[in-house]
Amino acid sequence: MRIAQVGNVHCSNMIDLNTLQLPELFDTLVRNEALDALIATERDEDLGDAGDITSKSLIDPSQQCQAILLAKANGVVAGLEVIPDLQKQFHTSIAWDVHTSDGQSCVSGDTLAVAHGSMRELLVVERTLLNMLCHLSGIATLTRQYVAKVTGTHAVICDTRKTHPGYRALEKYAVRCGGGTMHRIGLFDAALFKDNHLTLLPTGQLAEKLQTAIRSIRQEHDTQFIEVEVDTLEQLQIVLSLPESLIDIVLLDNMNVGKIREAVTLRDQLAPGVLLEASGGIGLETVRDIAESGVNRIAVGALTHSAPALDLGLEIISEDVHDASG
């Protein structure tokens, strides 16, 4: 995946985000002013003007504690990289000993990290920390399940733009933590001609109009890829008959496995260099059959819009005996 700009981060158009190691990907894709603003929003909606009135009423400001970040279910961890940013936006000085890393599997009962510091500060940041980590780890866990289902085929599992406001970069990072492949980041970095773009075009004008539009994009923009969605094999034949250098990917929308196999055969005959991507209501029970059809990519919106949160907890276990200077 090549990309010219991600949020507030400007990158070389030769950067392939899907090949970056996770820490580098986080710094490139996520760690910017947008992340600071997201955390600040979550902080402010939780603390309001008065702050944590419960902790203030009960806990001495000098009270130190030790707490553990605990996995309460099996899954894949994602979001630990955000802890330093949470520290900065919440103005906390808690010391974190992180025992694992994003992208690693966990089982129920695993200690993911140990925190030492002010009990008040820990309770202030607790909910936002868990909200983010549980959500992102849930995405990584579901992605890993899809990836496991297609092991041994030539298909990769991709995300979509079906993300939550403010969370797109984080959610796509979480997909990578689960072993998935990021699709385009937004409307700005790749061109995808979907059915709503093409629906009013007469079939006889489809090839001509697409060629003109694609050549315009390639002249004016650096893009990850050019992709065209088709609903029928007739549309597919028209698209595959275009000069092969114009199109990188064809999206097969809501086709059953039989139609997808026919599409693969047609692609192999007309334009073997074009990738095929299947999309549309693909679940864990059907993804293997689709992968075995010969497609290259499978896009799954559920990875980001429907992944259940992974159950994690933050539990205070003792007064702090940690010597930060040691």
Q: Is residue 19 exposed (0-12), middle (13-18) or buried (19+ Cβ within 10 Å)?
A: exposed
What's the CA gap between 199 and 171, in Å, rounded? 31
Amino acid identity for residue 267 in this structure: R
pLDDT for 203:
85
Query: How many CB atoms are located within 10 Å of the residue 324 CB?
Result: 9
* One domain for residues 57 and 169: no
* One domain for residues 169 and 121: no
| Catalytic, out of 229, 248, 277, 320 | 229
CATH code assigned at 235: 3.20.20.70
* One domain for residues 153 and 299: yes
pLDDT for 9:
36
What's the CA gap between 105 and 102, in Å, rounded? 9
State how far the alpha carbon of 187 is from the alpha carbons of 161, 163, 224, in Å: 9, 13, 11
pLDDT for 109:
98
* One domain for residues 192 and 161: yes
Reply yes or no on whether 127 is catalytic: yes
Residue 326 covered by a domain? no
What's the CA gap between 234 and 222, in Å, rounded? 30
Torsional sign, CA 275, 280, 283, 285: negative
pLDDT for 5:
38
What's the CA gap between 11 and 7, in Å, rounded? 10
> What is the Cβ-side half-sphere exposure of residue 45, based on CA atoms within 13 angstroms?
7
* One domain for residues 68 and 118: yes
pLDDT for 10:
33
Residue 78 covered by a domain? yes
pLDDT for 320:
78
Residue 166 covered by a domain? yes
| Catalytic, out of 2, 43, 72, 127 | 127
Extract the tokens encoding 114: 């140990």
Residue 55 covered by a domain? yes
Reply yes or no on whether 253 is catalytic: yes
Extract the tokens encoding 252: 């097969």
Residue 14 covered by a domain? yes
| Catalytic, out of 56, 88, 97, 194 | 194
Residue 46 covered by a domain? yes
Extract the tokens encoding 87: 């520290």
Extract the tokens encoding 279: 């999309």
pTM for the model stands at 0.93
Which residue range is the domain that position 54 belongs to? 5-139+309-319
Reply yes or no on whether 194 is catalytic: yes
pLDDT for 244:
78
* One domain for residues 117 and 154: no
* One domain for residues 18 and 65: yes
The pLDDT averaged over each successive group of 10 residues in the chain (326 residues) is 38 71 96 95 97 97 97 98 97 97 98 98 98 98 98 98 97 98 95 94 91 95 94 95 92 97 97 97 97 98 98 94 49
pLDDT for 285:
97
* One domain for residues 131 and 181: no
Angle at 286 between CA 159 and CA 271, to 5 degrees: 65
* One domain for residues 179 and 229: yes
CB 302 within 8 A of CB 159: no
Q: How many domains does the chain have?
A: 2
Extract the tokens encoding 269: 């005959």
Buried b / exposed e along 156-185 (16+ C-beta atoms within 10 A): bbbbbbebeeebbbbbbbbbbbbbbbbbbb
pLDDT for 178:
98
pLDDT for 326:
41
Reply yes or no on whether 102 is catalytic: no
| Catalytic, out of 253, 262, 289, 311 | 253
Would strands 95-98 and 111-118 be described as parallel, antiparallel, or unpaired? antiparallel
* One domain for residues 155 and 301: yes
Extract the tokens encoding 99: 């025992």
* One domain for residues 56 and 33: yes
What's the CA gap between 74 and 310, in Å, rounded? 8
pLDDT for 4:
38
* One domain for residues 167 and 21: no
Residue 325 covered by a domain? no
Q: Which residues pair with 97 in a beta bridge?
A: 114
CATH code assigned at 87: 3.90.1170.20
| Catalytic, out of 2, 43, 161, 162 | 162
Residue 59 covered by a domain? yes
Reply yes or no on whether 33 is catalytic: no
